[in-house]
Amino acid sequence: MNAPATFHGFNPTTNETLEPAFVCATPADLEQACAAAEAAFDLYRETSLDQRAAFLEAIAAQIMALGDTLIERAVAETGLPRGRIEGERGRTVGQLRLFASVVRDGYWLDARVDQAQPERKPMPRSDLRLRNIALGPVAVFGASNFPLAFSVAGGDTASALAAGCPVVVKAHSAHPGTSKLVADAISTAVAECGLPAGVFALLMGNERWLGGGLVADARIKAVGFTGSIGGGLALVKIAQARPEPIPVYAEMSSINPVILLPHALANRADQLGTAFVGSLTMGAGQFCTNPGLVLAQEGPGLEAFLKAASDALEAAPSSTMLTPGIATAYAEGVSHLAQHSAVQSVARGAVDPAPNRCQPALFVTDADSFLSDETLGHEVFGASSLVIRCKDLASIRALISKMQGQLTITLQMDDADTEDARFLLPTLERKAGRLLVNGWPTGVEVCHAMVHGGPFPATSDSRTTSVGTLAIRRFLRPVCYQDLPDALLPAALQSTNPLGVPRMVEGKIV
Amino acid sequence: MNAPATFHGFNPTTNETLEPAFVCATPADLEQACAAAEAAFDLYRETSLDQRAAFLEAIAAQIMALGDTLIERAVAETGLPRGRIEGERGRTVGQLRLFASVVRDGYWLDARVDQAQPERKPMPRSDLRLRNIALGPVAVFGASNFPLAFSVAGGDTASALAAGCPVVVKAHSAHPGTSKLVADAISTAVAECGLPAGVFALLMGNERWLGGGLVADARIKAVGFTGSIGGGLALVKIAQARPEPIPVYAEMSSINPVILLPHALANRADQLGTAFVGSLTMGAGQFCTNPGLVLAQEGPGLEAFLKAASDALEAAPSSTMLTPGIATAYAEGVSHLAQHSAVQSVARGAVDPAPNRCQPALFVTDADSFLSDETLGHEVFGASSLVIRCKDLASIRALISKMQGQLTITLQMDDADTEDARFLLPTLERKAGRLLVNGWPTGVEVCHAMVHGGPFPATSDSRTTSVGTLAIRRFLRPVCYQDLPDALLPAALQSTNPLGVPRMVEGKIV
């Protein structure tokens, strides 16, 4: 028998391998994880609202109990600064606790009651009741750029567990130590809450078969993924080729256009240029919502914006990217733009000889050039942005209408720009999941009204969000109960409403 | 220039061609319909709740105004009896009016407000608001078996129009005259309500390119379909191969298991057998929810049920099937079962020499035989059902757990069967969109709590329903508005809530 395959974490700041070695999951491990998830499903999906909420809170507590061990490992594996990792831990436990409150509130059940009408003519009406139930075991793929908030115990896991789905996580190989620590915290919470172990499993490994095999497993009923468009579409393809196709929620690609309207540009081009670079370079630009495209009418306002942005970019501190692969892909993307005949370089950040550093980049082109080469619309993951000089508002709208779907579109506007904004809005709504005014797209609030989603290829399913409480709906499906006696109805639908959940009765929420 | 291609309706009762000829849509017609739908979309999706509701009501009124012309044409084209067609018209206009009330109530907007928290530490929170918007123009495929309620102005059209989506219907070629009458009624309502003509279009034709071309058109953003599994999967494939994949809601295949529990069988086998045959033979069995499979523990109760069902089946009147193609496929499906070595024929309905008649059929087999040949689980569209003799309750559960997804599963039970039912329920929930006790699956109520859906291959998307008010959600996606001034927010999200729609504010519905 061969020794098991192993792999190591890696410190992108120092280019050093990190101990210890992690054992790669085998096909037997995959089988075991899926079998256990399936075995746990019927029990877990019928845990009481309080029990499931307490479980999510226990995960949050166990993550906090990891203390500095977690923070230090995540910093080492990602090159992200300590403050950012601490903030991300806050977001991670905050979203687990928010989903606990969502579970308790019970809106997610979408409970509906249409009572029997035995006297109705010509036909009596049956008693019909509806609730959502969990889809089944869910596969979650950790994302490299949020080692806590979109990884092992991140938004996909929190929303799937909240929905009543066991979760099997495929760890991202860029942060195995962080993944293992968090997975152990979840497993501790599983045991502490008296749940079957199969409610959660972590699979580690750096070979392609593992993720594909997980998505292909008949017991998996949905997939959550944040990453590249190539990776996302590969999973979609596997999911659709199954005997029973399943939904894949892949958040994949967005360049997050920012539109600078004329009065805003005339009144505060300098401030906009500086603030834009702050959003662009934050976290080495490694956000799904990084502002990779700026659209504005050509003229002195835009030139002033470019000057201010250039000054800010040249002064921006450099920072380490998540992995050597991401740093290389970033350098290639920037190089493609730098060498493009229709693109001018506006500014670069400081060169830094340390390994895997991001040297921010700003480019400019015109609308016709942008439209004539679709590669100019591809995401460059990292701090790179392309400014497009447009002739007028109509050409800005025309350009947006020809773009692919986006996670966000931002308007920078003053009051006098209101009519221009109104002219653009219907087009923007059709292209993005979130529209912002006078903010910057980085920084995604975890709340009830958030949409982190958008038309393809921003995501594989524009009807959903992967951040915020609405994300729970991805892992649910409705079931109707016709004329079931109270003794057999789920508690949420029994006549006395023993759970006290909100219900739609004859079409009205009560 | 060639004369345009035409086709005719057909009367399955008489095997006669019906006048007049209908002109087949050309590629130019398809282009025109999609272009007009796209042009109408931004205006139509922002019609006021009242305006859109009034439009749905106007369609209902125009359908009723067709009077006997519609009824007679539908009877002639489908072979369905007049009473059935009149009832179906009632359901069709009823569901349009129900969706009008849904539009006015505004729950479908899923409006959410999370107010700004400028003082929050460490970071202020933006003002975040969410509403659903329409996906875009929708392609609807008329179904042969519901020439009104699931055809041109049927459930898919009603829910898509309610959501704010223009609709392009591909008429089913089995009832072109009915389709044209209803389409004209819709177009009259469009004009009457002052809406752009592109809100609705009908495409007629009997060639395959038309449906495929419609689904492939970049301006179409979702598809509603009810029909065969082959047809549904073909559309799914086209939709997924587009540069921008789109959702296809295909309701495809279900054999709707009915489980007879021991005490019910012991107490009322005769009554169950007779009632079962009533559900089986209704409308020549041409319902998506026709009870094509019966499961029960072997023994004298089941034999009594079979006897009563045989007697009822042999006495059942024969009826005309929708098309010669459907009659042929039915005869082939029945023949496959009749000749199967592991299947015994229990009863056949009366032979009727008239064209395209359905001769109901009842068969019996055992659980092992059923599980060893998957063709025994295929839907035979029409009045054919297969009874499975099972050893015990555990083997019933095991059999269900190995089945494909279903629209419905029914339990016939008495009080003393409650624990058996409880044992089965978690398995049933995972396999079907609707569970019934002591009813029959045919007859799908249009209400708030209905689910006409279920796991693959019952439908292509188990997260949805194609009947009932929840069907509107198929054609919506959420958009988040961050820090938009009130003047730019959609009315549903403005600070004073001028529409008075229910909203989730900080996580609570108000």
Question: B112 and A448 in contact by Cβ < 8 A?
Answer: yes
Q: How many CB atoms lie within 10 A of CB B95?
A: 27
Residue B463 token pair: 């997260």
Of A250, A222, A244, the residue nearest A41 (C-alpha): A222
Buried b or exposed e, range A109-130, using 16+ CB within 10 angstroms: bbbbbbeeeeeeeeeeebbbbb
**Model pTM?**
0.98
Of A426, A420, A458, A453, the residue nearest A260 (C-alpha): A420
Distance CA B84, CA B61 (A): 20
Residue A312: its pLDDT value, please?
A: 98
Q: What is the DSSP letter of A224?
A: E
pLDDT level of residue B1 (50, 70, 90 thresholds): low
Residue A126 token pair: 């049956």
Question: A437 and B482 in contact by Cβ < 8 A?
Answer: yes
Reply yes or no on whether the pLDDT at B464 is more than 80.
yes
| Percent of chain B clearing pLDDT 90 (strictly above) | 97
Residue A317: its pLDDT value, please?
A: 86
Residue A1: its pLDDT value, please?
A: 56
Residue B334, C-beta contacts closer than 8 angstroms, at least 6 positions apart: B359, B361, B380, B382, B384
Residue B4: its pLDDT value, please?
A: 86
Q: Tell me the chain A residues in contact with residue B403 when contact means C-beta distances shorter than 8 Å.
A: none
| Distance (Å) from the alpha carbon of B88 to chain A's nearest alpha carbon | 13
Distance CA B185, CA B58 (A): 9
Asked if B402 is an interface residue toward chain A (Cβ–Cβ < 8 A), one would say: no
> Which sign, positive or negative, has the C-alpha torsion A291, A293, A294, A295?
negative
Residue B54: its pLDDT value, please?
A: 98
Distance CA B254, CA B263 (A): 27
Question: B435 and A126 in contact by Cβ < 8 A?
Answer: no
Q: How far is CA B408 from CA A90, A422, B143, B289, in A?
A: 44, 47, 19, 7
Question: A435 and B479 in contact by Cβ < 8 A?
Answer: yes
Reply yes or no on whether the pLDDT at B317 is more than 90.
no
Mean pLDDT to the nearest integer, B361-389: 97
Nearest to B433 among A135, A443, A480 (CB): A480
Q: How many CB atoms lie within 10 A of CB B20?
A: 11
Residue A362, C-beta contacts closer than 8 angstroms, at least 6 positions apart: A277, A280, A306, A309, A310, A313, A345, A346, A347, A348, A384, A385, A386, A387
pLDDT level of residue B447 (50, 70, 90 thresholds): very high
Contact between B466 and B450 under an 8 Å Cβ cutoff? The reply is no
Residue B318: its pLDDT value, please?
A: 87
Asked if residue A426 has a cis previous peptide bond (ω within 30° of 0), the answer is no
| Residues of B annotated catalytic, as ranges | 251, 288
ipTM over the 0.90 cut-off: yes
Q: Would you tell me which residues 110-129 of chain A have a C-beta closer than 8 angstroms to some C-beta of chain B?
A: 110, 112-114, 122-123, 125-126, 128-129
Q: Would you tell me which residues 14-43 of chain B have a C-beta closer than 8 angstroms to some C-beta of chain A?
A: 42
3-state SS, residue B191: helix
Residue A133: its pLDDT value, please?
A: 98
Residues B57-70 have pLDDT tens digits of: 999 999 999 999 99
Residue A99 token pair: 């989903």
What is the C-alpha R_g of chain B?
25
Q: Would you tell me which residues 434-473 of chain B have a C-beta closer than 8 angstroms to some C-beta of chain A?
A: 434-439, 443, 445, 447-451, 453, 455-457, 460-465, 469-470
Torsion angles phi and psi, residue B154, rounded to 5: -85, -160
Reply yes or no on whether the pLDDT at B206 is more than 90.
no
pLDDT in 10s for each residue of chain A, 510 residues: 578 899 999 999 999 999 999 999 999 999 999 999 999 999 999 999 999 999 999 999 999 999 999 999 999 999 999 999 999 999 999 999 999 999 999 999 999 999 999 999 989 999 999 999 999 999 999 999 999 999 999 999 999 999 999 999 999 999 999 999 999 999 999 999 999 999 999 999 988 899 999 999 999 999 999 999 999 999 999 999 999 999 999 999 999 999 999 999 999 999 999 999 999 999 999 999 999 999 999 999 999 999 999 999 999 988 999 999 999 999 999 999 999 999 999 999 999 999 999 999 999 999 999 999 999 999 999 999 999 999 999 999 999 999 999 999 999 999 999 999 999 999 999 999 999 999 999 999 999 999 999 999 999 999 999 999 999 999 999 999 999 999 999 999 999 999 999 999 999 998
| Residues of A annotated catalytic, as ranges | 251, 288
